[in-house]
Chains A and B, each alone.
Chain A
């Protein structure tokens, strides 16, 4: 093995450890944050007994979960029952491997470490565990595997509530994967690349993609929420009808694994939103962050962190504000609204990019982005204002009207 390769391995292992630790600790703290945020929204204090201002609450919870009794339903499929929590957790972690979380760090070292030999690293080190050239496909492939954990948890528990929850989850995740993937395509078109670092660079040069691709962002955010089974799309675990759905039969640490997985998924989705639509680690209104250097790296990493935290807060905000969808509404939203919208949007953006490139002579990325932004405003007004007649903004007003119409119709007596 060459010294360069060893150096690369060393750096990669360190990056992995860092990302893993940050996510695991972060997830623990997020449970606290969720409770604090909910408390704040409901005008109460939240956990404040363990440690200063309740800071040690996650540790106490963890301890409690480890000490609880592990239960197995008598007729469960033991192996899959054990495997399912892990399987729901792994994809979320894998996804975090391809998200760049800071500007490349200039890193030169050359040292010899006893029997292991010489380690060499030169040049800027990208702050991402694996800078896959095929980034987006990896994300789609891995996120599509997330459904296994939940579906198998539902099946292997051998309980009807769990099975129903698992079925709901698989249907929901498969359905929302499609608009999720389609909403990524305009981003790829605009960036001209499928690699996440390149997408971030594209946003540094122009505007953040949330402006030129607002509808993509909109679809991605909704589908992302649905993919993570968060409110308002948490039907797989709806306690009122399914008694917590796929994790009804789980207890102790296996149960908390599902929670860890859910929060890890939230972190990943928020990091993706940040990377794809909010410039990733880019610090707005300055080119200073691109000049390279340790300080710049730290600043950009902080910027990334702040943005991700905002989106995590946003997700929690939604959870404690909106009620849950009905299941058929959920499916209808995915297949009949988001999917056609995403498809049509791809066409529009293709044409717009082509026209801007070929016929207007606006080659500057910022001007082009502004042009696309104008287009987006028009589309948003059309979609939300004109075409939507109470379908997805005003909830089920239409449905009520339709139901009333049915009620007025003479009933068929059978």
Chain B
């Protein structure tokens, strides 16, 4: 009491923290913090030149470390006193998120046509806004914010207890809420999207948290393995358990964007700056599905006869609603958003399978879909007219004649979304449906195939518009820059390779899945 030695006090010992296993996350967070410092101390004109390489190097370093972890060690235990599970699926998901985040970062860093506002605080339409636009500045804070979000996305599916998962969820979501509101054009729409996303997201977080509290009441712990153990003892109160699972599922399904928790998705995808939409459509979906996988595979596996019917319903609804509503869309970003909802449904079928093959199929699907979607949104940023991106589908008419390469690539991405053979989409869908069918969910597979057919209709419609109608006189032109082109090229390569030669990636996913989840 009377000495200076507080650290020597007997009660608190430093907990074991396996820094090596947590390193990918720590690197991303560290890069984010360095980015914040750079914001404070680097002169404004030089900031972009510092931030972009910093973020890219941080993500790349984290990815390399993830690879090293995946191939060298046997990462089979929960790190940081059991808070984070570093296992096969975690590493696969984290690696996927990191690569996709790098691609999105290329879009975010695009300088030739900024997607981001020069000054978020300036009122839309005000003099200050025009001044700041004319000044050519850029809000470089987007880089650290993106890194924070990516770090949260890496923690979210890796969390081994519900509380850590909640923290990951918040770290992932909060920067995204903000980034959604920073679009350079159509700022009111963008700000509306941010507020909508924020309010609904906060609401869903509350559901998640309430579910966590009820499950804590049931199991006496928030650790996933402890909940699973409590389930197998089958003591405790059924009411708490079922209500907890339901509320928790609401929180998770919201982030995946499953029907009926989807209405935010089209509005937010449309309003957000397109690079951020790409980030959300790829990385956030990967993280959310990864977390859902962990929760349903680890904590509630023994309860699957209870949650499967609910999941069936949600998956069927999601696939059908996503595919059908997409047909009526006239805005390209909204259409892609509904397509993303439908894909969330396909991913849910993988979760319903609750088997090793289901896990590996879902992992593969996540990677394949992520690359394709980043590529598609990258092309959306390239097709521009005087008011910015040409959002309306009608403006894309005749694009195939003016710039056949870009239109061709976009058509290829759309075919991959539809699941045409020789694209990654086909392989992914095939793997997921096969696993689901093996798991006894044949009706689900039938609905899936049906909705794929419906979806193919509107994808093909876009292709028809692009190639078989006359371009308008003031039709948008395609602006190609190095960074965006790189992102498109990488997305295209991944889509082709995973479609033509899927075996190595399938093996990787299978290997990750054999390790299953740590408990």
Residue positions of A touching B, CB distance < 8 A: 189-193, 198, 201-202, 204-206, 353-354, 356-358, 363, 365, 368-369, 372
Q: Which residues of A have CB within 8 Å of B6?
A: 189-190, 192, 353
Q: Are A205 and B3 in contact (CB under 8 A)?
A: yes
With both beta carbons as reference points, the residue of chain A lying nearest to B9 in the complex is identified as A192
Q: How far is the CB of B114 from chain A (nearest CB, A)?
A: 27
Q: Which residues of B have CB within 8 Å of A198?
A: 1
Chain B 1-28 interface residues, beta-carbon cutoff 8 Å to A: 1-9
Q: Are A201 and B7 in contact (CB under 8 A)?
A: no
Residue positions of B touching A, CB distance < 8 A: 1-9
Q: Are B1 and A363 in contact (CB under 8 A)?
A: no
With both beta carbons as reference points, the residue of chain A lying nearest to B5 in the complex is identified as A357
Q: Which residues of A have CB within 8 Å of B1?
A: 191-193, 198, 201-202
Q: Which residues of B have CB within 8 Å of A358?
A: 7
Q: Which residues of A have CB within 8 Å of B9?
A: 192
Q: Are A357 and B4 in contact (CB under 8 A)?
A: yes
Q: Are B2 and A368 in contact (CB under 8 A)?
A: no
Q: How far is the CB of B508 from chain A (nearest CB, A)?
A: 43
Q: How far is the CB of A367 from chain B (nearest CB, A)?
A: 9
Q: Are B7 and A363 in contact (CB under 8 A)?
A: no
Additional A-B contact list (6), CB under 8 Å, known A353-B5, A363-B3, A365-B3: A189-B6, A190-B4, A206-B2, A206-B3, A357-B7, A368-B4
Q: Which residues of B have CB within 8 Å of A202?
A: 1-2
What is the bound-complex CA distance between A202 and B2, given in angstroms? 4
Q: Which residues of B have CB within 8 Å of A372?
A: 4
Q: Which residues of B have CB within 8 Å of A204?
A: 2
Q: How far is the CB of A209 from chain B (nearest CB, A)?
A: 11
Q: Are A357 and B8 in contact (CB under 8 A)?
A: yes
Q: Which residues of B have CB within 8 Å of A353?
A: 4-7
Q: Are B4 and A369 in contact (CB under 8 A)?
A: yes
What is the bound-complex CA distance between A283 and B153, given in angstroms? 57
With both beta carbons as reference points, the residue of chain B lying nearest to A212 in the complex is identified as B4
Most chain A beta-carbon neighbours within 10 Å: one of B1, B2, B4, B6: B4
Most chain B beta-carbon neighbours within 10 Å: one of A201, A204, A357, A372: A357
With both beta carbons as reference points, the residue of chain A lying nearest to B6 in the complex is identified as A192
With both beta carbons as reference points, the residue of chain A lying nearest to B2 in the complex is identified as A205
Q: Which residues of A have CB within 8 Å of B4?
A: 190, 192, 206, 353, 356-357, 365, 368-369, 372
Where chain B touches its partner, the secondary structure class is loop
Q: How far is the CB of A109 from chain B (nearest CB, A)?
A: 29
Where chain A touches its partner, the secondary structure class is helix
What is the bound-complex CA distance between A100 and B3, given in angstroms? 20
Q: How far is the CB of A266 from chain B (nearest CB, A)?
A: 30
What is the bound-complex CA distance between A190 and B8, given in angstroms? 12
With both beta carbons as reference points, the residue of chain B lying nearest to A354 in the complex is identified as B7
Q: Are B2 and A363 in contact (CB under 8 A)?
A: no
Q: Which residues of A have CB within 8 Å of B5?
A: 192, 353, 357, 363
Q: Are B2 and A201 in contact (CB under 8 A)?
A: yes
Q: How far is the CB of B130 from chain A (nearest CB, A)?
A: 15
Q: How far is the CB of B377 from chain A (nearest CB, A)?
A: 40
What is the bound-complex CA distance between A296 and B498, given in angstroms? 84
Q: Are B7 and A365 in contact (CB under 8 A)?
A: no
Sorted from nearest, which 10 A-B pairs have the closest CB atoms? A205-B2, A192-B6, A368-B4, A357-B5, A365-B3, A202-B2, A189-B6, A357-B7, A354-B7, A198-B1
A-B contact pairs, 15 of them (CB 8 A): A191-B1, A192-B1, A192-B4, A201-B2, A202-B1, A205-B3, A206-B3, A206-B4, A353-B6, A354-B7, A357-B4, A358-B7, A363-B5, A365-B4, A368-B3
Q: Which residues of A have CB within 8 Å of B2?
A: 201-202, 204-206, 365
Q: Which residues of A have CB within 8 Å of B8?
A: 357
What is the bound-complex CA distance between A402 and B3, given in angstroms? 48
Q: How far is the CB of A143 from chain B (nearest CB, A)?
A: 24
Q: Which residues of A have CB within 8 Å of B7?
A: 353-354, 357-358
What is the bound-complex CA distance between A191 and B5, given in angstroms? 9
What is the bound-complex CA distance between A356 and B5, given in angstroms? 9
What is the bound-complex CA distance between A192 and B8, given in angstroms? 10
What is the bound-complex CA distance between A205 and B3, given in angstroms? 8
Q: How far is the CB of B306 from chain A (nearest CB, A)?
A: 43
Q: How far is the CB of A97 from chain B (nearest CB, A)?
A: 22
What is the bound-complex CA distance between A240 and B3, given in angstroms? 50
What is the bound-complex CA distance between A333 and B9, given in angstroms? 36
Q: How far is the CB of B12 from chain A (nearest CB, A)?
A: 11
Q: How far is the CB of A352 from chain B (nearest CB, A)?
A: 9
Q: Which residues of B have CB within 8 Å of A356?
A: 4
With both beta carbons as reference points, the residue of chain B lying nearest to A352 in the complex is identified as B4
With both beta carbons as reference points, the residue of chain B lying nearest to A205 in the complex is identified as B2
What is the bound-complex CA distance between A320 and B2, given in angstroms? 39
Q: How far is the CB of B33 from chain A (nearest CB, A)?
A: 14
With both beta carbons as reference points, the residue of chain B lying nearest to A368 in the complex is identified as B4
Most chain B beta-carbon neighbours within 10 Å: one of A192, A353, A354, A363: A192
With both beta carbons as reference points, the residue of chain B lying nearest to A364 in the complex is identified as B3
With both beta carbons as reference points, the residue of chain A lying nearest to B8 in the complex is identified as A357
What is the bound-complex CA distance between A354 and B6, given in angstroms? 9
With both beta carbons as reference points, the residue of chain B lying nearest to A367 in the complex is identified as B4
Q: How far is the CB of A234 from chain B (nearest CB, A)?
A: 32
What is the bound-complex CA distance between A372 and B4, given in angstroms? 10
What is the bound-complex CA distance between A357 and B1, given in angstroms? 14
What is the bound-complex CA distance between A358 and B4, given in angstroms? 11
Q: Which residues of A have CB within 8 Å of B3?
A: 192, 205-206, 363, 365, 368
Q: How far is the CB of B435 from chain A (nearest CB, A)?
A: 51
What is the bound-complex CA distance between A191 and B2, given in angstroms? 7
With both beta carbons as reference points, the residue of chain A lying nearest to B4 in the complex is identified as A368
What is the bound-complex CA distance between A337 and B403, given in angstroms? 57
With both beta carbons as reference points, the residue of chain B lying nearest to A369 in the complex is identified as B4
Q: How far is the CB of A289 from chain B (nearest CB, A)?
A: 15
Q: How far is the CB of B127 from chain A (nearest CB, A)?
A: 10
With both beta carbons as reference points, the residue of chain A lying nearest to B3 in the complex is identified as A365
Q: How far is the CB of B41 from chain A (nearest CB, A)?
A: 13
Q: How far is the CB of B208 from chain A (nearest CB, A)?
A: 28
Q: Which residues of B have CB within 8 Å of A193?
A: 1
Q: Which residues of B have CB within 8 Å of A365?
A: 2-4
Q: Which residues of B have CB within 8 Å of A190?
A: 4, 6
Q: How far is the CB of B131 from chain A (nearest CB, A)?
A: 12
What is the bound-complex CA distance between A353 and B3, given in angstroms? 11
Q: How far is the CB of A15 from chain B (nearest CB, A)?
A: 24
What is the bound-complex CA distance between A201 and B1, given in angstroms? 8
What is the bound-complex CA distance between A193 and B5, given in angstroms? 11
Most chain B beta-carbon neighbours within 10 Å: one of A191, A198, A372: A191
What is the bound-complex CA distance between A354 and B5, given in angstroms? 8
What is the bound-complex CA distance between A372 and B9, given in angstroms? 19
Q: Which residues of B have CB within 8 Å of A201?
A: 1-2
With both beta carbons as reference points, the residue of chain B lying nearest to A190 in the complex is identified as B4
What is the bound-complex CA distance between A369 and B4, given in angstroms? 8
What is the bound-complex CA distance between A205 and B2, given in angstroms? 6
What is the bound-complex CA distance between A237 and B6, given in angstroms? 43
What is the bound-complex CA distance between A354 and B7, given in angstroms? 7
Q: How far is the CB of B8 from chain A (nearest CB, A)?
A: 6
What is the bound-complex CA distance between A191 and B3, given in angstroms? 7
With both beta carbons as reference points, the residue of chain B lying nearest to A189 in the complex is identified as B6
What is the bound-complex CA distance between A358 and B9, given in angstroms? 12
Q: How far is the CB of A348 from chain B (nearest CB, A)?
A: 14
With both beta carbons as reference points, the residue of chain B lying nearest to A199 in the complex is identified as B1
Q: Which residues of B have CB within 8 Å of A368?
A: 3-4
What is the bound-complex CA distance between A23 and B1, given in angstroms? 31
With both beta carbons as reference points, the residue of chain B lying nearest to A202 in the complex is identified as B2
What is the bound-complex CA distance between A356 and B6, given in angstroms? 11
What is the bound-complex CA distance between A198 and B3, given in angstroms? 11
Q: Which residues of B have CB within 8 Å of A369?
A: 4
Q: How far is the CB of A387 from chain B (nearest CB, A)?
A: 15
What is the bound-complex CA distance between A198 and B6, given in angstroms? 13
Q: How far is the CB of B369 from chain A (nearest CB, A)?
A: 44
With both beta carbons as reference points, the residue of chain B lying nearest to A195 in the complex is identified as B1
What is the bound-complex CA distance between A202 and B5, given in angstroms? 11
What is the bound-complex CA distance between A193 and B2, given in angstroms? 10
What is the bound-complex CA distance between A365 and B2, given in angstroms? 7
Q: Which residues of B have CB within 8 Å of A354?
A: 7
Q: How far is the CB of A244 from chain B (nearest CB, A)?
A: 35
